């Protein structure tokens, strides 16, 4: 899972990056029932795809298969086997698409049932693809999560959040030397402080509305106190120590697309049971006790 360079964690590049477009003029066409999305409820990168799929009403358009939260030496296992692809492990789909593939078999990824190959495991592109290329299949009244006029600001904050928060917790947790750990740690909490200040004045990260930026930040925040604070040694402060970030996360959690795709059992079992170099005992903590349904009061910022 690690690619240490001078003690630093370096995330593996995404292998499959083919596009799905509205008319298929570039890449494959957006069609209902054609694609199968493989996810883990534990994985923050996959979590964002489930949130977007739910918000846009694409549940009957893009099928989903959920892997077991506890990944073993063979990688992600598909409980009971996948009835569509016939695979028992996600690795089978990677190798069916590219027999020479070497590396980690990652979620989220999308399988094309027509060509019977993986189209993409490019997690940053999957949600924006759903938002911009599957518009013909969005539910009535679906939010515009990536509006054209806000994209420059969304992209700017996404870049910061990815580097220092989404991936930052991994850079801290998987560092093999003190220096890289402390660098990631300091950048993480500097950004959280900035976001705390920003969210003290506005309900959402960008444009006064729910956008792709909020969806990318949420999966890290919702896992923070349960996993990253202790397991990844990101322990300067907890999420609950940030009044505005904590209320913001509860605000998002109060919506079905967020809380129905948040599975704390999967999250905790995955992290604590599949990183033996960090948690050799594989004991899963019972805590923390958090009240995710407490009033958030964020509507006053509308």
CA distances from 164 to 29, 112, 158, 168, 239 (A): 34, 33, 10, 4, 15
Give the HSE-up count for residue 191: Cα atoms under 13 Å, Cβ half-sphere. Answer: 23
Give the HSE-up count for residue 264: Cα atoms under 13 Å, Cβ half-sphere. Answer: 19
Among 41, 94, 170, 242, which one carries the catalytic annotation? 170
Determine if the peptide bond prior to 108 is cis (ω within 30°). Answer: yes
CA distance 1 to 275: 9
The H or E element that residue 23 is part of is none
Task: Decide if 43 is catalytic.
Answer: yes
CB 61, CB 134: distance < 8 Å:
yes
Among 41, 43, 218, 248, which one carries the catalytic annotation? 43
CB 109, CB 121: distance < 8 Å:
yes
Q: Give the pairing of strands 63-66 and 109-112.
A: unpaired
Nearest alpha-carbon partner for 205 in 263, 162, 257, 259: 162
CA distance 269 to 274: 8
Which residues are annotated as catalytic? Answer: 43, 170
């Amino acid at each position: 899972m690690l690619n240490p360079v001078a003690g630093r964690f370096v995330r593996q590049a995404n292998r499959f990056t083919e596009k799905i477009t509205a008319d298929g003029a570039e890449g494959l066409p957006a069609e209902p029932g054609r694609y199968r999305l493989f996810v883990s409820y534990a994985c923050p990168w996959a979590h964002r795809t489930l949130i977007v799929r739910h918000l846009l009403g694409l549940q009957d358009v893009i099928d989903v298969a959920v892997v077991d939260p506890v990944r073993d030496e063979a990688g992600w296992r598909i409980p009971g086997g996948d009835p569509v692809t016939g695979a028992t492990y996600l690795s089978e789909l990677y190798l069916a698409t590219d027999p020479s593939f070497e590396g980690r078999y990652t979620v989220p990824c999308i399988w094309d049932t027509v060509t019977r190959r993986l189209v993409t495991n490019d997690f940053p592109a999957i949600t924006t693809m759903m938002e911009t290329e599957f518009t013909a299949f969005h539910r009535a009244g679906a939010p515009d999560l990536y509006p054209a006029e806000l994209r420059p600001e969304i992209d700017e904050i996404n870049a910061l959040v990815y580097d220092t928060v989404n991936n930052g917790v991994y850079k801290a947790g998987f560092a093999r030397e003190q220096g890289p750990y402390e660098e990631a740690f300091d950048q993480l909490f500097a950004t959280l402080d900035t976001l705390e200040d920003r969210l003290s004045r506005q309900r959402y990260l960008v444009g006064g509305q729910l956008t792709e930026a909020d969806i990318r930040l949420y999966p890290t925040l919702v896992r923070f106190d349960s996993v990253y604070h202790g397991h990844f040694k990101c322990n300067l402060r907890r999420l609950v120590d940030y009044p505005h970030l904590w209320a913001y996360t509860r605000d998002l959690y109060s919506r079905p697309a967020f809380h129905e795709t948040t599975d704390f059992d999967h999250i905790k079992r995955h992290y604590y049971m599949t990183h033996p170099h960090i948690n050799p005992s594989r004991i899963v903590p019972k805590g923390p006790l958090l009240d995710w349904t407490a009033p958030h009061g964020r509507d006053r910022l509308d």
